[in-house]
Amino acid sequence: MRRSLVLASLAFASAALHGCAVGPNYKRPSAPTPPAFKEDAPPGQRPEDWKPAEPRDAVPRGPWWEVFGDPERIHVCPDCGLRTRSWEVAYDKLRNMVEGTKLAEQALSTAGAAT
């Protein structure tokens, strides 16, 4: 029993040491890297027409819907549930908005079919 345990331990140690054997010296392949990344322009556009991004982090933040200057959106979005503290009320508002959208789509599709 003891002899088989010693042999098993030696076999395990031998396998572990042979598993750690280092292979041939690794030579890293050379890969040419460009000095800067430049993406191709989309089809039909020239690369000169592209410009770097201009982040405007200093611009005052406000309600996102006012950025578009759309009076209808400015009128509707404050009631989208942003000030609602209750998830149930917010969910009910959202469900009502979705149902209203479905009704409007049905009205448009029936009006289009009637003409």
Query: What tokens appear for 60 in the block?
Result: 């005052």
Give pLDDT, residue 8: 77
Distance, CA of 110 to CA of 90 (rounded, Å) = 30
Give pLDDT, residue 38: 72
**Contact, 63 vs 73, CB < 8 A?**
no
Percent of the chain exceeding pLDDT 70 equals 76
Give pLDDT, residue 36: 77
Q: What mean pLDDT, rounded, does the chain reach?
A: 76
Would the pLDDT of 101 be above 90? yes
Give pLDDT, residue 88: 83
**SS3 (DSSP) at 89:** helix
Distance, CA of 58 to CA of 53 (rounded, Å) = 15
How many beta carbons lie within 10 A of that of residue 63, not counting itself? 11
Confidence of residue 102 (pLDDT cuts 50, 70, 90): very high
Confidence of residue 99 (pLDDT cuts 50, 70, 90): very high
Q: Tokens 């969910």 belong to which residue?
A: 91
* 2-30 confidence digits (pLDDT tens): 877 777 777 777 766 666 656 678 888 88
